Protein backbone atom coordinates (compact mmCIF):
# COMPACT_ATOMS: atom_id res chain seq x y z
CA UNK A 1 0.00 0.00 0.00
CA UNK A 2 1.23 3.45 -0.84
CA UNK A 3 1.61 5.91 1.94
CA UNK A 4 -0.92 8.77 1.79
CA UNK A 5 1.97 11.16 2.25
CA UNK A 6 3.67 9.80 -0.89
CA UNK A 7 0.48 10.46 -2.83
CA UNK A 8 0.38 13.96 -1.44
CA UNK A 9 4.04 14.50 -2.40
CA UNK A 10 3.24 13.58 -6.00
CA UNK A 11 -0.08 15.44 -6.21
CA UNK A 12 1.45 18.41 -8.07
CA UNK A 13 2.36 16.03 -10.91
CA UNK A 14 -1.18 14.70 -11.29
CA UNK A 15 -3.01 16.86 -13.82
CA UNK A 16 -6.73 17.30 -13.21
CA UNK A 17 -9.23 17.24 -16.08
CA UNK A 18 -9.58 20.98 -15.73
CA UNK A 19 -5.80 21.47 -15.98
CA UNK A 20 -5.61 19.21 -19.04
CA UNK A 21 -8.35 21.19 -20.79
CA UNK A 22 -6.75 24.48 -19.86
CA UNK A 23 -3.28 23.47 -21.10
CA UNK A 24 -4.96 22.21 -24.29
CA UNK A 25 -6.71 25.54 -24.93
CA UNK A 26 -3.57 27.53 -24.22
CA UNK A 27 -1.54 25.28 -26.50
CA UNK A 28 -4.02 25.64 -29.39
CA UNK A 29 -3.95 29.39 -28.97
CA UNK A 30 -0.14 29.46 -29.15
CA UNK A 31 -0.14 27.36 -32.32
CA UNK A 32 -2.58 29.79 -33.94
CA UNK A 33 -0.43 32.72 -32.79
CA UNK A 34 2.73 31.08 -34.11
CA UNK A 35 1.20 30.66 -37.57
CA UNK A 36 -0.04 34.27 -37.86
CA UNK A 37 2.47 36.84 -39.04
CA UNK A 38 1.19 39.55 -36.66
CA UNK A 39 1.44 37.40 -33.51
CA UNK A 40 4.37 35.17 -34.53
CA UNK A 41 7.10 37.32 -32.90
CA UNK A 42 5.46 36.99 -29.46
CA UNK A 43 4.21 33.43 -29.81
CA UNK A 44 6.21 30.71 -28.09
CA UNK A 45 5.07 27.80 -30.26
CA UNK A 46 6.72 29.18 -33.39
CA UNK A 47 5.27 26.88 -36.05
CA UNK A 48 8.05 27.29 -38.60
CA UNK A 49 7.21 26.29 -42.19
CA UNK A 50 9.65 23.58 -43.32
CA UNK A 51 9.24 23.91 -47.11
CA UNK A 52 8.54 20.17 -47.26
CA UNK A 53 5.31 20.11 -49.26
CA UNK A 54 5.16 16.65 -50.75
CA UNK A 55 4.72 13.50 -48.74
CA UNK A 56 6.37 10.36 -50.08
CA UNK A 57 4.42 8.06 -52.37
CA UNK A 58 6.50 4.97 -51.63
CA UNK A 59 8.03 4.73 -55.09
CA UNK A 60 11.10 6.89 -54.30
CA UNK A 61 14.40 5.41 -55.49
CA UNK A 62 18.09 6.14 -55.16
CA UNK A 63 21.00 6.39 -52.74
CA UNK A 64 21.17 9.25 -50.29
CA UNK A 65 23.43 10.26 -47.46
CA UNK A 66 21.86 11.46 -44.24
CA UNK A 67 23.30 13.13 -41.17
CA UNK A 68 21.55 13.09 -37.86
CA UNK A 69 22.59 15.63 -35.23
CA UNK A 70 20.52 16.56 -32.25
CA UNK A 71 20.08 13.61 -29.93
CA UNK A 72 22.59 11.85 -27.74
CA UNK A 73 24.58 10.60 -30.71
CA UNK A 74 25.62 11.88 -34.08
CA UNK A 75 25.03 9.49 -37.00
CA UNK A 76 25.97 9.21 -40.64
CA UNK A 77 23.72 7.06 -42.78
CA UNK A 78 23.55 5.71 -46.28
CA UNK A 79 19.93 5.19 -47.26
CA UNK A 80 18.96 3.20 -50.34
CA UNK A 81 15.37 3.87 -51.34
CA UNK A 82 14.12 0.94 -53.37
CA UNK A 83 10.58 1.83 -54.38
CA UNK A 84 7.60 -0.24 -53.16
CA UNK A 85 7.75 1.53 -49.75
CA UNK A 86 11.07 -0.15 -49.12
CA UNK A 87 14.45 1.15 -47.96
CA UNK A 88 17.67 -0.17 -46.46
CA UNK A 89 19.86 1.82 -44.12
CA UNK A 90 23.53 1.43 -43.32
CA UNK A 91 24.68 3.67 -40.51
CA UNK A 92 27.52 4.55 -38.22
CA UNK A 93 27.27 6.23 -34.83
CA UNK A 94 29.88 8.72 -33.71
CA UNK A 95 30.11 10.25 -30.26
CA UNK A 96 29.79 14.00 -29.87
CA UNK A 97 32.28 14.73 -27.09
CA UNK A 98 30.92 17.12 -24.43
CA UNK A 99 33.53 19.75 -25.24
CA UNK A 100 32.38 19.82 -28.87
CA UNK A 101 28.78 20.42 -27.73
CA UNK A 102 29.84 23.71 -26.16
CA UNK A 103 32.90 24.57 -28.29
CA UNK A 104 33.02 26.58 -31.49
CA UNK A 105 30.57 25.98 -34.31
CA UNK A 106 33.34 25.63 -36.88
CA UNK A 107 34.93 22.86 -34.78
CA UNK A 108 31.57 21.08 -34.57
CA UNK A 109 30.99 21.22 -38.32
CA UNK A 110 34.59 20.18 -39.05
CA UNK A 111 34.04 17.15 -36.80
CA UNK A 112 30.83 16.32 -38.67
CA UNK A 113 32.51 16.70 -42.07
CA UNK A 114 35.39 14.52 -40.83
CA UNK A 115 33.04 11.70 -39.78
CA UNK A 116 31.21 12.05 -43.09
CA UNK A 117 34.48 11.72 -45.04
CA UNK A 118 35.47 8.58 -43.08
CA UNK A 119 32.05 7.06 -43.73
CA UNK A 120 32.16 7.78 -47.47
CA UNK A 121 35.67 6.36 -47.68
CA UNK A 122 34.65 3.20 -45.82
CA UNK A 123 31.75 2.68 -48.20
CA UNK A 124 33.98 3.26 -51.19
CA UNK A 125 31.91 6.16 -52.49
CA UNK A 126 34.51 8.89 -52.67
CA UNK A 127 34.03 9.49 -56.36
CA UNK A 128 30.23 9.23 -56.47
CA UNK A 129 27.99 12.30 -56.40
CA UNK A 130 25.86 12.04 -53.28
CA UNK A 131 22.88 14.16 -52.29
CA UNK A 132 22.64 14.61 -48.52
CA UNK A 133 19.73 15.30 -46.19
CA UNK A 134 20.79 16.89 -42.90
CA UNK A 135 18.57 16.13 -39.93
CA UNK A 136 19.44 19.00 -37.63
CA UNK A 137 17.12 18.77 -34.65
CA UNK A 138 17.11 22.27 -33.27
CA UNK A 139 14.76 25.21 -33.87
CA UNK A 140 15.51 26.73 -37.27
CA UNK A 141 13.89 29.36 -39.43
CA UNK A 142 13.85 27.82 -42.87
CA UNK A 143 14.19 30.10 -45.86
CA UNK A 144 13.93 27.19 -48.25
CA UNK A 145 14.53 23.46 -48.18
CA UNK A 146 18.28 23.73 -47.78
CA UNK A 147 18.61 26.88 -45.73
CA UNK A 148 18.00 26.74 -42.01
CA UNK A 149 18.96 29.57 -39.66
CA UNK A 150 19.50 28.28 -36.13
CA UNK A 151 17.28 30.21 -33.73
CA UNK A 152 18.70 28.77 -30.52
CA UNK A 153 20.52 25.73 -29.26
CA UNK A 154 18.64 23.28 -27.01
CA UNK A 155 19.36 19.94 -25.26
CA UNK A 156 22.70 20.96 -23.74
CA UNK A 157 24.33 22.16 -26.98
CA UNK A 158 25.80 25.65 -26.98
CA UNK A 159 28.36 26.08 -29.76
CA UNK A 160 29.54 29.61 -30.43
CA UNK A 161 28.90 31.29 -33.76
CA UNK A 162 26.02 29.18 -35.02
CA UNK A 163 22.88 30.90 -33.72
CA UNK A 164 21.65 33.25 -36.45
CA UNK A 165 23.67 31.37 -39.09
CA UNK A 166 22.59 29.07 -41.90
CA UNK A 167 23.58 25.57 -40.78
CA UNK A 168 23.25 24.25 -44.35
CA UNK A 169 25.91 26.72 -45.44
CA UNK A 170 28.14 25.91 -42.44
CA UNK A 171 27.99 22.21 -43.28
CA UNK A 172 28.60 22.88 -46.96
CA UNK A 173 31.66 25.01 -46.10
CA UNK A 174 33.07 22.35 -43.77
CA UNK A 175 32.73 19.73 -46.54
CA UNK A 176 34.41 22.13 -49.00
CA UNK A 177 37.29 22.82 -46.57
CA UNK A 178 38.15 19.13 -46.68
CA UNK A 179 37.48 18.87 -50.39
CA UNK A 180 37.62 15.08 -50.42
CA UNK A 181 34.08 14.13 -51.45
CA UNK A 182 31.38 15.23 -53.89
CA UNK A 183 28.51 15.75 -51.49
CA UNK A 184 25.67 18.22 -51.96
CA UNK A 185 23.50 19.32 -49.02
CA UNK A 186 20.04 19.24 -50.62
CA UNK A 187 17.81 19.46 -47.56
CA UNK A 188 17.86 20.52 -43.90
CA UNK A 189 15.15 19.04 -41.77
CA UNK A 190 14.01 18.59 -38.22
CA UNK A 191 13.84 15.08 -36.73
CA UNK A 192 10.06 15.45 -36.36
CA UNK A 193 9.79 16.08 -40.12
CA UNK A 194 11.94 12.98 -40.71
CA UNK A 195 9.62 10.98 -38.47
CA UNK A 196 6.51 12.18 -40.29
CA UNK A 197 8.06 11.45 -43.67
CA UNK A 198 9.28 7.98 -42.74
CA UNK A 199 5.85 7.06 -41.36
CA UNK A 200 4.09 8.56 -44.39
CA UNK A 201 6.33 6.35 -46.55
CA UNK A 202 4.56 3.38 -44.96
CA UNK A 203 1.16 4.84 -44.25
CA UNK A 204 -0.31 7.58 -46.45
CA UNK A 205 -2.50 8.93 -43.61
CA UNK A 206 0.41 10.10 -41.46
CA UNK A 207 0.00 13.83 -40.80
CA UNK A 208 1.79 14.39 -37.48
CA UNK A 209 5.37 13.55 -36.45
CA UNK A 210 6.46 13.56 -32.82
CA UNK A 211 9.76 13.04 -30.99
CA UNK A 212 9.93 12.28 -27.28
CA UNK A 213 13.61 11.57 -26.86
CA UNK A 214 16.44 13.69 -25.49
CA UNK A 215 14.27 16.61 -26.60
CA UNK A 216 10.57 16.89 -27.37
CA UNK A 217 8.82 18.38 -30.37
CA UNK A 218 6.28 17.78 -33.14
CA UNK A 219 5.42 18.76 -36.68
CA UNK A 220 2.23 18.41 -38.72
CA UNK A 221 0.76 19.01 -42.15
CA UNK A 222 -1.01 22.39 -42.39
CA UNK A 223 -2.94 24.03 -45.26
CA UNK A 224 -0.74 26.65 -46.95
CA UNK A 225 -3.30 29.41 -46.51
CA UNK A 226 -2.94 29.14 -42.72
CA UNK A 227 0.84 29.49 -42.81
CA UNK A 228 1.52 33.23 -43.09
CA UNK A 229 5.29 32.78 -42.96
CA UNK A 230 5.51 30.54 -46.00
CA UNK A 231 6.85 32.44 -49.01
CA UNK A 232 4.04 33.30 -51.43
CA UNK A 233 5.60 31.46 -54.37
CA UNK A 234 5.31 28.22 -52.37
CA UNK A 235 1.56 28.65 -51.96
CA UNK A 236 0.71 28.58 -55.66
CA UNK A 237 1.12 24.98 -56.67
CA UNK A 238 0.85 23.09 -53.36
CA UNK A 239 -2.02 22.90 -50.90
CA UNK A 240 -0.12 22.03 -47.76
CA UNK A 241 3.23 22.23 -46.01
CA UNK A 242 4.81 20.54 -43.01
CA UNK A 243 5.02 22.95 -40.08
CA UNK A 244 7.63 22.41 -37.36
CA UNK A 245 5.73 23.39 -34.21
CA UNK A 246 8.81 23.68 -31.93
CA UNK A 247 6.47 23.10 -29.02
CA UNK A 248 9.39 22.61 -26.64
CA UNK A 249 9.31 26.35 -26.07
CA UNK A 250 5.62 26.34 -25.04
CA UNK A 251 5.19 27.95 -21.62
CA UNK A 252 7.83 30.62 -22.02
CA UNK A 253 5.05 33.20 -21.88
CA UNK A 254 3.86 31.85 -18.51
CA UNK A 255 1.17 29.56 -20.00
CA UNK A 256 2.34 26.57 -17.95
CA UNK A 257 3.06 28.34 -14.67
CA UNK A 258 -0.21 27.09 -13.19
CA UNK A 259 0.94 23.47 -13.54
CA UNK A 260 4.72 23.78 -13.13
CA UNK A 261 6.03 22.44 -9.83
CA UNK A 262 8.89 23.54 -7.60
CA UNK A 263 10.91 20.69 -9.19
CA UNK A 264 10.28 22.02 -12.70
CA UNK A 265 11.47 25.43 -11.58
CA UNK A 266 14.65 23.96 -10.13
CA UNK A 267 15.41 21.93 -13.27
CA UNK A 268 15.02 25.12 -15.28
CA UNK A 269 17.08 27.30 -12.96
CA UNK A 270 20.06 24.94 -13.05
CA UNK A 271 19.93 24.41 -16.83
CA UNK A 272 22.16 26.13 -19.39
CA UNK A 273 19.10 27.56 -21.15
CA UNK A 274 17.18 29.16 -18.28
CA UNK A 275 13.58 30.23 -18.94
CA UNK A 276 13.69 28.47 -22.31
CA UNK A 277 12.11 25.22 -23.54
CA UNK A 278 9.79 24.92 -20.53
CA UNK A 279 7.41 22.36 -22.08
CA UNK A 280 10.43 20.33 -23.17
CA UNK A 281 11.77 20.39 -19.60
CA UNK A 282 8.55 18.67 -18.43
CA UNK A 283 8.44 16.05 -21.17
CA UNK A 284 11.85 15.14 -22.61
CA UNK A 285 14.36 12.46 -21.71
CA UNK A 286 17.05 14.99 -20.97
CA UNK A 287 15.07 16.19 -17.94
CA UNK A 288 12.76 13.43 -16.66
CA UNK A 289 15.46 11.60 -14.70
CA UNK A 290 16.53 14.85 -13.10
CA UNK A 291 12.93 15.55 -12.05
CA UNK A 292 12.73 12.15 -10.36
CA UNK A 293 16.07 12.84 -8.66
CA UNK A 294 14.74 16.10 -7.19
CA UNK A 295 11.52 14.46 -5.99
CA UNK A 296 13.56 11.66 -4.42
CA UNK A 297 15.61 14.20 -2.51
CA UNK A 298 12.42 15.69 -1.12
CA UNK A 299 11.10 12.21 -0.26
CA UNK A 300 14.32 11.44 1.63
CA UNK A 301 14.14 14.71 3.50
CA UNK A 302 10.56 13.96 4.57
CA UNK A 303 11.45 10.36 5.44
CA UNK A 304 8.97 8.98 2.92
CA UNK A 305 11.43 6.53 1.41
CA UNK A 306 14.18 4.31 2.86
CA UNK A 307 12.61 4.98 6.25
CA UNK A 308 14.39 2.06 7.86
CA UNK A 309 17.85 3.15 6.80
CA UNK A 310 20.11 5.38 8.83
CA UNK A 311 22.05 6.11 5.63
CA UNK A 312 19.45 8.51 4.26
CA UNK A 313 21.79 11.58 4.45
CA UNK A 314 24.39 9.61 2.51
CA UNK A 315 21.78 8.73 -0.17
CA UNK A 316 20.82 12.39 -0.38
CA UNK A 317 24.51 13.21 -0.92
CA UNK A 318 24.65 10.83 -3.89
CA UNK A 319 21.64 12.53 -5.45
CA UNK A 320 22.92 16.02 -4.72
CA UNK A 321 26.38 15.56 -6.19
CA UNK A 322 25.36 14.74 -9.73
CA UNK A 323 22.32 16.00 -11.63
CA UNK A 324 22.53 13.13 -14.10
CA UNK A 325 22.85 10.32 -11.56
CA UNK A 326 19.23 9.22 -11.92
CA UNK A 327 19.13 8.36 -15.59
CA UNK A 328 15.86 8.72 -17.51
CA UNK A 329 16.11 5.12 -18.68
CA UNK A 330 15.71 4.01 -15.04
CA UNK A 331 12.16 5.37 -15.16
CA UNK A 332 11.33 2.94 -17.97
CA UNK A 333 13.11 0.05 -16.26
CA UNK A 334 11.35 0.67 -12.95
CA UNK A 335 7.89 0.94 -14.51
CA UNK A 336 8.58 -2.25 -16.42
CA UNK A 337 9.50 -4.18 -13.29
CA UNK A 338 7.42 -6.99 -11.86
CA UNK A 339 5.74 -6.93 -8.46
CA UNK A 340 6.77 -7.99 -5.83
CA UNK A 341 10.23 -9.09 -7.05
CA UNK A 342 11.27 -5.63 -8.22
CA UNK A 343 14.51 -7.08 -9.60
CA UNK A 344 15.45 -4.09 -11.81
CA UNK A 345 14.35 -1.52 -9.24
CA UNK A 346 16.46 -3.20 -6.57
CA UNK A 347 19.43 -3.32 -8.92
CA UNK A 348 19.11 0.40 -9.66
CA UNK A 349 18.82 1.21 -5.94
CA UNK A 350 21.85 -0.94 -5.23
CA UNK A 351 23.95 0.70 -7.94
CA UNK A 352 22.94 4.19 -6.88
CA UNK A 353 23.15 3.88 -3.11
CA UNK A 354 24.85 0.57 -2.38
CA UNK A 355 21.69 -0.52 -0.58
CA UNK A 356 21.50 -4.31 -0.73
CA UNK A 357 17.83 -5.19 -0.64
CA UNK A 358 15.39 -2.31 -0.88
CA UNK A 359 12.03 -3.14 0.74
CA UNK A 360 8.90 -3.72 -1.32
CA UNK A 361 7.48 -0.52 0.12
CA UNK A 362 10.53 1.50 -0.99
CA UNK A 363 10.32 -0.01 -4.47
CA UNK A 364 6.63 0.86 -4.67
CA UNK A 365 7.29 4.41 -3.61
CA UNK A 366 10.05 4.81 -6.16
CA UNK A 367 7.84 3.31 -8.83
CA UNK A 368 4.98 5.69 -8.00
CA UNK A 369 7.31 8.69 -8.24
CA UNK A 370 8.53 7.53 -11.67
CA UNK A 371 4.99 6.81 -12.80
CA UNK A 372 3.72 10.28 -11.91
CA UNK A 373 6.61 12.04 -13.65
CA UNK A 374 6.28 9.89 -16.81
CA UNK A 375 2.49 10.03 -16.89
CA UNK A 376 2.48 13.81 -16.67
CA UNK A 377 5.00 13.93 -19.56
CA UNK A 378 2.85 11.61 -21.68
CA UNK A 379 -0.29 13.58 -20.86
CA UNK A 380 1.35 16.86 -21.88
CA UNK A 381 2.69 15.34 -25.11
CA UNK A 382 -0.79 13.97 -25.87
CA UNK A 383 -2.34 17.39 -25.25
CA UNK A 384 -0.02 18.80 -27.92
CA UNK A 385 -0.67 15.91 -30.29
CA UNK A 386 -4.45 16.35 -29.88
CA UNK A 387 -4.13 20.03 -30.72
CA UNK A 388 -2.27 19.21 -33.94
CA UNK A 389 -4.50 16.27 -34.92
CA UNK A 390 -7.57 18.48 -34.48
CA UNK A 391 -6.02 21.14 -36.73
CA UNK A 392 -5.34 18.84 -39.68
CA UNK A 393 -7.96 18.77 -42.40
CA UNK A 394 -7.93 14.96 -42.71
CA UNK A 395 -10.54 12.84 -41.04
CA UNK A 396 -8.16 9.93 -40.56
CA UNK A 397 -4.85 10.88 -38.97
CA UNK A 398 -1.87 8.70 -38.14
CA UNK A 399 0.60 10.12 -35.64
CA UNK A 400 4.21 9.01 -36.31
CA UNK A 401 6.22 8.76 -33.11
CA UNK A 402 9.86 8.25 -32.19
CA UNK A 403 12.41 9.02 -29.49
CA UNK A 404 13.90 6.97 -26.67
CA UNK A 405 11.31 7.92 -24.04
CA UNK A 406 8.36 6.94 -26.23
CA UNK A 407 10.12 3.85 -27.57
CA UNK A 408 11.39 2.35 -24.32
CA UNK A 409 8.91 3.43 -21.68
CA UNK A 410 6.47 0.54 -21.26
CA UNK A 411 3.39 2.71 -20.69
CA UNK A 412 4.07 6.02 -22.43
CA UNK A 413 1.94 5.02 -25.40
CA UNK A 414 -0.96 3.89 -23.20
CA UNK A 415 -0.80 7.06 -21.10
CA UNK A 416 -0.86 9.14 -24.27
CA UNK A 417 -3.86 7.29 -25.67
CA UNK A 418 -5.91 7.98 -22.53
CA UNK A 419 -5.54 11.71 -23.08
CA UNK A 420 -5.95 11.55 -26.86
CA UNK A 421 -9.26 9.79 -26.35
CA UNK A 422 -10.48 12.71 -24.29
CA UNK A 423 -9.24 15.52 -26.51
CA UNK A 424 -9.31 14.46 -30.16
CA UNK A 425 -12.54 15.52 -31.86
CA UNK A 426 -15.12 12.76 -32.16
CA UNK A 427 -15.24 12.92 -35.97
CA UNK A 428 -11.54 12.04 -36.28
CA UNK A 429 -10.17 8.57 -36.58
CA UNK A 430 -6.63 8.41 -35.22
CA UNK A 431 -3.85 6.04 -34.39
CA UNK A 432 -0.21 6.13 -33.33
CA UNK A 433 2.54 4.47 -35.31
CA UNK A 434 6.17 3.93 -34.33
CA UNK A 435 8.60 5.43 -36.80
CA UNK A 436 11.42 3.44 -38.28
CA UNK A 437 14.50 5.58 -38.20
CA UNK A 438 12.89 8.86 -39.12
CA UNK A 439 16.09 10.84 -38.86
CA UNK A 440 17.82 8.67 -41.45
CA UNK A 441 15.12 7.38 -43.76
CA UNK A 442 13.13 10.61 -43.36
CA UNK A 443 16.13 12.71 -44.42
CA UNK A 444 16.62 10.59 -47.52
CA UNK A 445 12.91 10.85 -48.33
CA UNK A 446 12.92 14.64 -48.03
CA UNK A 447 15.94 14.74 -50.34
CA UNK A 448 14.27 12.32 -52.78
CA UNK A 449 10.91 14.07 -52.81
CA UNK A 450 12.68 17.40 -53.33
CA UNK A 451 14.52 16.15 -56.39
CA UNK A 452 11.32 14.54 -57.72
CA UNK A 453 9.34 17.77 -57.57
CA UNK A 454 12.07 19.79 -59.36
The reply to whether 190 sits near ligand BGC by the rule CB under 6 A is yes
Q: Interface residues for ligand BGC in 412-451 (CB under 6 A)?
A: none
Could you tell me which stretch among 13-21, 53-61, 83-91, 212-220 binds ligand BGC (CB under 6 A)? 212-220
Asked if 285 touches ligand BGC (CB under 6 A), the answer is no
| Residue (56 or 71) nearer to ligand BGC, CB | 71
49 binding ligand BGC? (CB under 6 A): no
Judged by CB, which is closer to ligand BGC: 155, or 409? 155
Residue number with CB closer to ligand BGC (154 or 392): 154
Measured CA to CA in angstroms, residue 11 lies from 14, 117, 211, 295 at distances of: 5, 52, 27, 12
Instruction: Report yes or no: 393 and 223 within 8 Å, Cβ to Cβ.
Output: yes
Among 50, 198, 217, 379, binds ligand BGC (CB under 6 A): 217
Q: Which of 280, 362, 402, 437 binds ligand BGC (CB under 6 A)?
A: 280
Return the residue nearest ligand BGC (CB atom): 215
Contact region with ligand BGC (CB under 6 A), list: 13-21, 95-103, 112-120, 209-217: 209-217
Task: Respond yes or no on whether the N-terminal peptide bond of residue 151 is cis (omega within 30° of 0).
Answer: no
- What burial class does residue 114 get, using C-beta atoms within 10 Å of its C-beta: 0-12 exposed, 13-18 middle, 19+ buried? middle
CB of 249 to ligand BGC, least distance (A): 8
Nearest to 301 by CA among 358, 263, 255: 263
CB of 297 to ligand BGC, least distance (A): 26
Residue 372 C-beta: closest distance to ligand BGC, Å: 23
> Contact between 194 and ligand BGC (CB under 6 A)?
no
* CA neighbor of 54 nearest in space, from 196, 227, 186: 196
Check residue 155 for interaction with ligand BGC (CB under 6 A). yes
- Does 191 participate in catalysis according to the annotation? yes
Q: Which of 159, 183, 211, 448 binds ligand BGC (CB under 6 A)?
A: 211
Rounded to a whole number of angstroms, the minimum distance from the CB of residue 46 to ligand BGC is: 10
Closest approach of ligand BGC to the CB of residue 12, in Å: 24
CB-CB contact of 46 with 279 (8 Å): no
- Taking the least distance from each CB to ligand BGC, the nearer of 191 and 333 is 191
| Residue among 46, 146, 155, 375 flagged as catalytic | 155
The least CB distance from residue 436 to ligand BGC, in Å, is 17
Q: Which stretch binds ligand BGC (CB under 6 A): 53-61, 101-109, 170-178, 214-222?
A: 214-222
Residues paired with 80 in a beta bridge: 63, 88
- The nearer residue to ligand BGC, 214 or 419, going by C-beta atoms, is 214
Number of amino acids touching ligand BGC (CB under 6 A)? 17
Q: Residues 191, 205, 264, 362: which is the catalytic one?
A: 191
| CB 188, min distance to ligand BGC, A | 11
**246 CB contacts (<8 Å, ≥6 apart)?**
45, 46, 47, 48, 139, 217
Per-residue interface string for the shown chain with ligand BGC, residues 134-153, x marking contact by CB under 6 A: ---xxx--------------
Select from 131, 194, 215, 400 the one that contacts ligand BGC (CB under 6 A).
215
Please tell me the distance from the alpha carbon of residue 69 to that of residue 136, in angstroms, as a whole number: 5
- Contact residue for ligand BGC among 192, 379, 386, 419 (CB under 6 A): 192
At its nearest, how many Å lie between ligand BGC and the CB of residue 247?
9
* Contact map string, positions 66 to 95, toward ligand BGC, x by CB under 6 A: ----x-------------------------
By the criterion CB under 6 A, which residues form the site for ligand BGC?
70, 137-139, 154-155, 190-192, 211, 213, 215-217, 246, 248, 280
Which residues are annotated as catalytic?
A: 155, 191
Amino acid sequence: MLDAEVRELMQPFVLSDYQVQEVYSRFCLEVARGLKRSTHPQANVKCFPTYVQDLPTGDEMGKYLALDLGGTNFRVLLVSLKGHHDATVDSQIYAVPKDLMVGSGVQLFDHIAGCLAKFVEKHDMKTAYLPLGFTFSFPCVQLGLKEGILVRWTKGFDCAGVEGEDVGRMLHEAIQRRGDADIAVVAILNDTTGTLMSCAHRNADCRVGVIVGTGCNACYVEDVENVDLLRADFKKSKRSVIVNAEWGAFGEGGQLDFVRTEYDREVDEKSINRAEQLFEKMTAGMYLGNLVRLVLLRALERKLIFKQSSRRPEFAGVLQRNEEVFETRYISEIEDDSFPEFASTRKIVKNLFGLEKASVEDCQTLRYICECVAKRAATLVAIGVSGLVNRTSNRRVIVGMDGSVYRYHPKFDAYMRQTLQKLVKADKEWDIMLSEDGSGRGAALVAAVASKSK
